[in-house]
Structure 1
Amino acid sequence: MNPRIPPFDELPMIDTLGLRHSWDVFGRDDNVGTINHLTPERVVQAASLVRTGQVLDLTWPVDEPDPPMYGRRPYAHTIYPPARNELDDYLDGFYLQGSTQWDGLRHVRAREFGFYTGFTGEMAPGPGRLGIEHWVQHGIVGRGVLVDVARHQQQLGTPLVHTEGRSIEADEIAAAAAAQGVELRPGDVLCVRLGWPAYYEPLTHDERVEVNKTMAFPGLSARESTARFLWDHQVAAVTCDNPSFEVSPGDASIGYLHRRLIPSLGMAIGEFFRFEQLAEACAAEGRWDFLFVSVPLHVRGAIGSPANAIAVR
């Protein structure tokens, strides 16, 4: 652990929101948050995890889920010939957070207290504070760890039901990691598999429409204990394979995990990841860590980005 990183319970509090924040840990001019944990030394260590050269895609096609969720609309893909023997193409109405994606540090604010680091300035297109370009320039490369909560719950005889808003508590993530024999280390990219894509992909169009209406599925608990667990393990980023990362529907009396993590702690979170192939490969070998590589789109000032993520084993 980095001794300069204070434990969660020693972070200052925004009393009126009941949120602990890390705005002074990496400096008030910081633009990357917990991605700071991805140091050059840790990238070198993560590269040593590549043993077979197997490359696994961790993303959905950008036109999935279909129909789009959260009020988004399908994009239009146009192919045209700019010259007799050439083709070009473009997208209209493309939502940067419509599929496997990162929530950037501009995505959520802590009400009147501002975005991460307490920034309260204007968020406009183009380069600026907390835009996704800062993660692009730093890079999101490090040791990935898959914690297969879905597999662990199945083995316990209590499989997850993907039509119910079941909260996955921090101690359940820890228990699944312990059952796998994998240890979380500072700077890890934690990948939590709940198995939602395996449930969703076989559904008919009408069944998918119903999912969009109910929006009930398991996800990470919004309790403070989740934020404490992630911060104290000094994870660089945490990703999940459900649509909203946290449990849906949420409970206002418990809080909003996005607000606990993004503006308060500067934590990089990813949604809609796809871990099915990775889970099979990890289980077959009994090895749950790998080189994680993600290259967000270099859209200056963007709120989020497609993840473009792979695991290299």
Structure 2
Amino acid sequence: MRPAYDLLPVLEGLGLPHAWDVLDHELGSLSLLTPELRREAAALVSTGESISLDLPLGLVDPPLYGRAAHRHRHVQVGRNTYEDVIDDFNPQSGSQWDGLLHVRAREFGFFGGETSFEKASRGPGISRWARAGIVGRGVLLDVARWAEAQGSPIDPFSGHVIGDEDLRTCADQQGVELRTGDILCVRTGWVSAYRSLDAGSRASLASRFTGLRADAAMARFLWDGQVAAVAADNPALESTPGDQAVGSLHRRLIPLLGMAVAELLDLDALAARCAELARWEFLFVAVPLPLAGGVSSPANALAVL
């Protein structure tokens, strides 16, 4: 058995627990996705409906965090043959996976302890995740729907903080239990609200939005719950702006716990269908880019009901 969060060794100098000696340094939390768990997840399919969890490329416009917009052009390579060329494409400009090279725990290193990005990026990077894909039981916690039903709707652009206790209560209300190897998807309502805005209102949205609390309790909830990945429909999983006194959830999860993180997933259609079926579990399938040394990837994700 792997140690509980509170029993993990603490990284000297940073004062935060790490799992560098617990999980595979390339797979991280995806090590939990065993063939047995994949078979169990496949058995969840009943209606056969598949729902894409990817936003259309270019929907987030202007791109967040100063990223460049991709440029799509067609090239005629023969009399009757055409190809696509995409310039300045950033895999993190839309629905995305943050790989284990995305964040370093300051000078202490990436997941596993390598401090040099040059050396770390010589490894497989996110292409290691692409070999078997990310296939398992998906669980949707529709926090936006739950909060509205409680009479306390959440403004996705308010910087509201979702704590571990909120996720527990939402799961209880939905009648769903988290299990080892789950891909946990949290809907904040950000994508739905973003779609309703005009172009002029979208420019400054990266500075404030609702998301997960970045504290040790959230990291403990995710680690002790043994989730294989955690995903959200907002730009950075955690609430923004953060609190320096609390710290960074990205730092706690990615370089220290090796956790797979997805952001900007389109969970709206899935949430609507899950509510209709009164069922919040599904087969989750994603295939990241087989990009050697890759830091990130488009989500390329589906939910199969």
**TM > 0.5 between the two?**
yes
Cα distance between partner residues in 2 of 1:25 and 1:134: 18
> Which residue matches 2:153?
159
- The two structures have a TM-score, normalised by structure 1, of 0.95
Q: Deviations over 1:201-223 (max 9, x none)?
A: 011111112425xx211000001
* Cα shift readout 1:133-185 (whole Å, capped 9, x = no counterpart): 11111320000000111111001111111221111000100100000000000
- Determine helix, strand or coil for the equivalent of 1:234: coil
Q: 1:191 maps to which residue?
A: 185
SS in 1 for 2:247: coil
The equivalent of 1:220 in structure 2 is 212
Partner of 2:60: 65
Equivalent residues of 2:219, 2:253 under 8 A apart: yes
Structure 2 counterpart of 1:54: 49
For the residues of structure 2 that align with 1:54 and 1:143, how far apart are their CA atoms? 15
Residue correspondences, number = 305
Match for residue 258 of structure 1?
Answer: 250
Q: Which residue of 1 is the match for residue 3 of structure 2?
A: 6
Q: 1:21 corresponds to which residue?
A: 18
Q: Of 72, 76, 81, which aligns to 1:77? A: 72
Query: Residue 299 of structure 2: which of 298, 304, 307 is its match?
Result: 307
Whether contact under 8 Å (1:56, 1:277) holds in the other structure is yes
Work out the CA distance in 1 between the residues paired with 2:204 and 2:104: 30
In the alignment, which of 85, 96, 104 is matched to residue 101 of structure 1?
96
Residue identity matched to 1:119: E
Q: Show the counterpart of 1:140.
A: 134
AA partner of residue 232 (structure 1): D
Structure 1: unaligned runs, 5 residues or longer: none
Counterpart amino acid of 1:8?
Y
Native 8 Å contact 1:242 1:272 kept in 2: yes
Q: Conserved in 2, the CA contact under 8 Å of 1:146 and 1:288?
A: yes
> Does residue 237 of the first structure (1) align with residue 229 of the second (2)?
yes
- How much has 1:124 moved relative to structure 2? 6.6
Residue 107 of structure 2 corresponds to 112
Give yes or no for the alignment of 1:204 onto 2:201.
no
- Please state whether the residue corresponding to 1:283 is helix, strand or coil: helix
Are 1:294 and 1:308, in contact at CA under 8 Å, matched by a contact in 2? yes
Once residues 163 and 181 of structure 1 are traced to their aligned partners in structure 2, the CA distance between those partners, rounded to angstroms, is: 28
**TM-score normalised to structure 2 length:** 0.97
d(CA) in 2 for partners of 1:143 and 1:13?
30
CA RMSD of superposed structures (Å): 1.3
**1:310/1:59 CA distance change after superposition, 3 Å:** same
SS of 2:144's partner is helix
Using a 3 Å threshold, how does the CA distance of structure 1 residues 124 and 73 change in structure 2: closer, same or farther?
farther
Deviation at 1:79, TM superposition (A): 0.1
Q: Is the 8 A contact 1:218 1:248 kept in 2?
A: yes
Using a 3 Å threshold, how does the CA distance of structure 1 residues 261 and 210 change in structure 2: closer, same or farther?
closer
Deviations 1:93-123 (A, max 9, x none): 0001110000000001111210001122343
The separation in 2 between residues aligned to 1:118 and 1:256, in whole angstroms, is 18
Q: Which amino acid aligns with 2:173?
A: A
SS in 2 for 1:142: strand
- Aligned-pair distance for 1:78? 1.1
Deviations 1:64-89 (A, max 9, x none): 20111100111111101100011111
Residue 57 of structure 1: CA displacement?
A: 0.6
- For structure 2, list consecutive stretches of 5 or more residues without a partner in the other structure: none
Q: Cα deviations across residues 19-57 of structure 1 (Å, max 9, x unaligned)?
A: 100011125xx2110000100000000000111110001
Out of 70, 78, 86, the residue aligned to residue 81 of structure 2 is: 86
SS in 1 for 2:90: coil
For 1:123, what is the secondary structure of its paired residue? helix
Question: Displacement, 1:126?
Answer: 6.9
Contact 2:101–2:120 (8 Å) recurs in 1: no
- Taking only the aligned residue pairs, the percentage that are identical comes to 48
Distance in 2 between residues matched to 1:43 and 1:101, nearest whole Å: 22
